[in-house]
């Protein structure tokens, strides 16, 4: 017969296991684009989701479970071709020529960024960012949870309004595949919020960031665009949709 200490340890283990199970956040990736995308995933800690990346055909979805405290980003890679060993390349969002990303994607990419709360009452922080540019529409929709829990996203086709100096062309089709940030295009402090422009007071929106903001008001358009672009929710699951339906 187990002694009292053993029973306490067993009950504690069951309690902790249940808390972790309840607190884990389910993030569903949904591809509503009329073409295959290859989600790239960069985890900020050792809990790598989805092995870093995989193909997601049009109309398909996959569920990933993020533990409490997880942080990272998701993006769509487009125009990819990989061999049987998982080596290849993508027209946009490439992460070192491998299917399973171990680093970030090459800009420009639309990013969904997350920090999952820790503990029963921890807040999740999430946003859609165009700071590294844009390649596809993306939306984050919370399900359940409490707090603000606002939809975040960029559902506009920014490529169609991208200034010519920021355009990335698809060599296969000759059409605009992505839109660079002004920082990537010009590498100047006033666009990158660096040097003398490294604070919110000295780095202001530009006419280039305004293109992104006008198209996608709830997405980050430059580094200090926090006030209208960061969202919180507690205890929710999330659906990240590539090419969400425009309302």
Phi-psi region of 241 (alpha: psi -120 to 50; beta: other; left: phi over 0): beta
Output the pLDDT for position 119. Answer: 62
Output the pLDDT for position 24. Answer: 87
Residue 182 tokens read as: 């002004």
pLDDT values of the chain reduced to their tens digit, one per residue, 247 residues: 445 444 343 333 333 333 444 468 999 999 999 999 999 999 987 788 999 999 999 999 999 999 999 999 999 999 999 999 999 999 999 999 999 999 999 999 999 999 999 865 689 999 999 999 999 999 999 999 999 999 999 999 999 999 999 999 999 899 999 999 999 999 999 999 999 999 999 999 999 999 999 999 999 999 999 888 999 999 999 999 999 986 5
168 contacts 176 by C-beta, under 8 angstroms: yes
Superfamily of domain 4-159+212-242: Thaumatin (2.60.110.10)
Nearest CA-CA partner of 239 in 145, 144, 139: 139
Residue 188 tokens read as: 């100047």
74 contacts 28 by C-beta, under 8 angstroms: no
Q: Show me where the domains of the chain are located.
A: 4-159+212-242
Output the pLDDT for position 60. Answer: 98
Output the pLDDT for position 120. Answer: 59
Output the pLDDT for position 23. Answer: 67
Output the pLDDT for position 12. Answer: 37
Residues recorded for the chain: 247
Residue 159 tokens read as: 């490529």
Nearest CA-CA partner of 41 in 85, 93, 90, 116: 93
Compute, in degrees rounded to 10, the torsion defined by CA atoms 204, 205, 208, 212.
150
């Amino acid at each position: 017969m187990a002694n009292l200490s053993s029973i306490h340890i067993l009950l504690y283990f069951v309690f902790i296991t249940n808390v972790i199970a309840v607190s884990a956040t389910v993030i569903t990736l949904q591809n509503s684009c009329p073409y295959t995308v290859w989600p790239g995933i960069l985890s900020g800690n050792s809990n790598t989701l989805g092995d870093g990346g995989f193909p997601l055909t049009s109309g398909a979805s996959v569920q990933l479970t993020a533990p409490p405290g997880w942080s990272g980003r998701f993006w769509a890679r487009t125009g990819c071709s990989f061999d049987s060993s998982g080596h290849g390349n993508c027209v946009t969002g490439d992460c070192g020529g491998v299917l399973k990303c171990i680093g970030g994607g090459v800009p420009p990419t639309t990013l969904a960024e997350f920090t999952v709360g820790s503990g029963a009452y921890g807040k999740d922080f999430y946003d859609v960012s165009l700071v590294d540019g844009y390649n596809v529409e993306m939306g984050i929709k919370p399900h359940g949870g409490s707090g603000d829990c606002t939809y975040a996203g960029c559902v506009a086709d920014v490529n169609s309004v991208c200034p010519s100096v920021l355009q990335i062309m698809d060599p296969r089709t000759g059409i605009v595949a992505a839109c660079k940030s002004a920082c990537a295009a010009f590498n100047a402090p006033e666009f990158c919020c660096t040097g003398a422009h490294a604070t919110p007071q000295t780095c202001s929106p530009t006419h280039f960031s305004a293109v992104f903001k006008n198209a996608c008001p709830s997405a980050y358009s430059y580094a200090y665009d926090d006030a209208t672009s960061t969202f919180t929710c507690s205890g929710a699951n999330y659906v990240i949709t590539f090419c969400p339906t425009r309302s």
